[in-house]
Structure 1
Amino acid sequence: MSSDLTRSSSSDFRGDMLLTALLADLSRIDDLSVTVLRLSSQGLHNLPDNVSVVMSGSDDCAAALVQCIADADAVWPLAPESDGLLESISRMALQNGKLLIGSSPDAVHLAGSKYLTSQVLRGAGITTVATYFSTDTLPPNAQAWIVKPDDGAGCSDTHLFSHAALARQWIAARPACAVVLQPYVAGRPCSLSLLCGSSELFLLGCSEQRIAAADHRIHYLGSTVNSISDTDGQLERLARRVVAAIPGLWGYVGIDIILTEQGPVVLAVNPRMTMCHAGLHDSIGANPAGMLVEILRSGRCSEPRRQKNRQVSIDVDGGLPRH
């Protein structure tokens, strides 16, 4: 089996952490060769023997992507939802008759929009953070407002304002940007790491996220994988409802939630691998990429048998200002 992994043009530290962890997991799988297409070789060291890298400049990246997809048996896009990148690569893979290791393009399109995701989940009776466009009538009782790109990934370009008027003023200065507003919700920010097959779902991780605010910006500083207990199964039941509400979610899926005093509130759905994967193998004592390949090959896989998951900390440079 040949697999083509494609990531975005960013070569930031977080992307390299995620890619390195995935390649390490894939290297443990027999009869698998991997080709990585990227714009920069920085951050990739001591690659496994079954991994090769195709380097591309920004001018010929599109042509290189087409060629890599043509040469592959399966395509695993590692790309953000921003600017429709993940969706377009996923569609290209299917249009070329390749096995897509990931969610369907339609599911990526829906989950890639914070506004559409909120509308669909609320329609399914799932408690989620209300999401508005700047032209909408906003409720007056919000403690503060979060402004972010409608198709943003993670905390990229995410801002915090104490009043809606300040948020709208900031938005008005950037008329070309498609952004949404969400009321600030107090609680513990967390992430659920799912492995979804056609007929099964595994909740592999319940992780607390470390989030900081500085100079009106929200910064992601890392996660502690499997630091959240789900002994009563509430989070797994929530995950199943979210996946049922968005047809086409498949493979690795992340659900960002806020644990409030009233219960969990869904913030976003990530139709792709998230940063928690970097610590997932060590946490569950099993190869999550191997589980996914097992689903591809046989339609099923066995759940990890570790009695208690280990807590694993992932620390990243969140871009906080230094003084």
Structure 2
Amino acid sequence: MKIFVYEHVSGGGFAGTSIPADILCEGFAMLKTLIHSLKEAGHNITTLLDARIMALNPPIEADSITRISSLQEAKKKICKLSGTVDAAYIIAPEFGGTLAELVSIVEDSGNASLNCRSEAIKRASDKAEACRELKRRGLPIPETIEANVNQDIGEIRSKVKDIGVPVVFKPIDGVGCAGLSLVRSLSQISRAIERIKHESSGERFLIQKYIRGASASVSLIASSQRATPITLNRQRTKLAAPNGRSAYLGGSTPMIHTQGERALDVARRATESFEGLRGYVGVDLVLTGDKAIILEVNPRLTTSFIGIEKIINFNLAQAIIDAVLLGKLPEKIQTLGFASFQKVETPIPKQEKLRSLYRLGFVASPPFPISQNDKAYALIEAHASTFKAAMSKFYRVKRRLLEMVS
């Protein structure tokens, strides 16, 4: 098949503006890994790259790459290319309706979209609506109250008192950890609201009871009616106070936990609660000693894909295609070892060192020298037969990477 793959951060979504280095490494790593998996399955791939990244000749296996200089140009190319291929896949954040809008462009082309349906993306991306639907179906979620940044601060303080600190302030349409704050006292509420205003495009947000436990996600392959859990993944996140910065750092897969089977089951039921979720879906959870509690449903490719693709016993990209186009879900799923995938902050590398960095194994995304400050980010994926061996390999690659950049 001829397949068009677009990744928003590296593919032109930030053309003309600065690209946040910490999300560029995630986006490019997902693009690179998905294209590799599609090529392994025998498909012909077309993609787009931001002109600044394309000028660096990055290591990517696409058959055709188009240089993009503006967001409008990217949207026009998505519209044009979606009509000339057999199928298209969009990698983008839900933030501000971006993912739903771009998937709608593909759907309007008349050719096959390999994403979740745009209407399902809208429903699952609205965290308030998603919580209501999950609660209606009897699925476990944290105690949750909806609020608005324009509300009287006294009303919001009263809502926090009703739940009881600590609580998490979370934008309705946030992606990753943008706008996220851990509020441990009433005095932190004003600053938490300001962070949401600064990092979210919307006014609505959630106040959720903070639940102490292990941060996890489940990756699933879904048809329109059914979903099959693939892996339980550990997430490494930093949940900061309002004056700090919450961040997603990476993760590992598979995750071994006493609540693993329960997590897979509630994630499956959550995915099947939204008609139109199909292909790849991620469900974020927190695991306690006796519960698996759903935090949100991600109707898109997630960073865990980078590690799963290396240790699963089938071609993950082809499984997405088969689920969407044929309604066929994977069977006899096995993980063949462990994978760790983590961001690594580095100095800005000199361009003459890039070719050597491109050849360094297990670097899913190199630290591109296009940041406006003095920092860049790489994303390393290391896999091995045991978790200990995978982590040992990760640290060896990290040390070598930092030596080469310095």
> Is TM-score (shorter-chain normalized) higher than 0.5?
yes
- Cα deviation, 1:202-248, whole Å, max 9, x if unaligned, reads 21110111112455321111101112347873223212210221111
What are structure 2's unaligned runs of at least 5 residues? 347-373, 375-406
The yes-or-no answer on 1:149 pairing with 2:176 is: no
Instruction: Return the letter of the residue paired with 1:285.
Output: N
Counterpart of 1:258 in structure 2 is: 286
The yes-or-no answer on 1:37 pairing with 2:48 is: yes
Using a 3 Å threshold, how does the CA distance of structure 1 residues 305 and 274 change in structure 2: closer, same or farther? closer
Using a 3 Å threshold, how does the CA distance of structure 1 residues 131 and 273 change in structure 2: closer, same or farther? farther
The yes-or-no answer on 1:126 pairing with 2:123 is: no
- Find the aligned partners of 2:45 and 2:125 in 1 and give their Cα distance: 27
SS at match of 1:193: strand
- Find the aligned partners of 1:318 and 1:181 in 2 and give their Cα distance: 31
SS at match of 1:160: strand
Using a 3 Å threshold, how does the CA distance of structure 1 residues 182 and 302 change in structure 2: closer, same or farther? closer
Selected match of 1:181 from 207, 211, 214: 207
- Cα deviation, 1:61-111, whole Å, max 9, x if unaligned, reads 322222222222212111110111111111222222121101111110011
Counterpart of 1:95 in structure 2 is: 108
CA displacement at 1:314 relative to structure 2 = 0.6
Selected match of 1:15 from 17, 27, 30: 27
* Alpha-carbon contact 1:39-1:56 (below 8 Å) kept: yes
Counterpart of 1:138 in structure 2 is: 159
Instruction: Return the letter of the residue paired with 2:311.
Output: S
Using a 3 Å threshold, how does the CA distance of structure 1 residues 85 and 138 change in structure 2: closer, same or farther? same
Instruction: Return the letter of the residue paired with 2:159.
Output: L
Q: TM-score, normalised by structure 1?
A: 0.88
- Number of residue pairs aligned between Structure 1 and Structure 2: 317
Counterpart of 1:310 in structure 2 is: 337
Instruction: Return the letter of the residue paired with 2:178.
Output: S
The yes-or-no answer on 1:54 pairing with 2:66 is: yes
What are structure 1's unaligned runs of at least 5 residues? none
Structure number having the greater helix percentage: 2
SS at match of 1:60: helix
- Find the aligned partners of 2:92 and 2:32 in 1 and give their Cα distance: 15
SS at match of 1:209: strand
Q: TM-score, normalised by structure 2?
A: 0.71
Counterpart of 1:3 in structure 2 is: 3
Using a 3 Å threshold, how does the CA distance of structure 1 residues 258 and 93 change in structure 2: closer, same or farther? same
Counterpart of 2:402 in structure 1 is: none
Instruction: Return the letter of the residue paired with 1:218.
Output: S
* Alpha-carbon contact 1:142-1:184 (below 8 Å) kept: no
The yes-or-no answer on 1:275 pairing with 2:330 is: no
Q: Over aligned residues, Cα RMSD in angstroms?
A: 2.7
Deviates more, 1:186-195 or 1:226-235: 226-235
Using a 3 Å threshold, how does the CA distance of structure 1 residues 200 and 213 change in structure 2: closer, same or farther? closer
The yes-or-no answer on 1:208 pairing with 2:220 is: no
Instruction: Return the letter of the residue paired with 1:14.
Output: E
Deviates more, 1:253-262 or 1:233-242: 233-242
Instruction: Return the letter of the residue paired with 1:61.
Output: A
SS at match of 1:3: strand
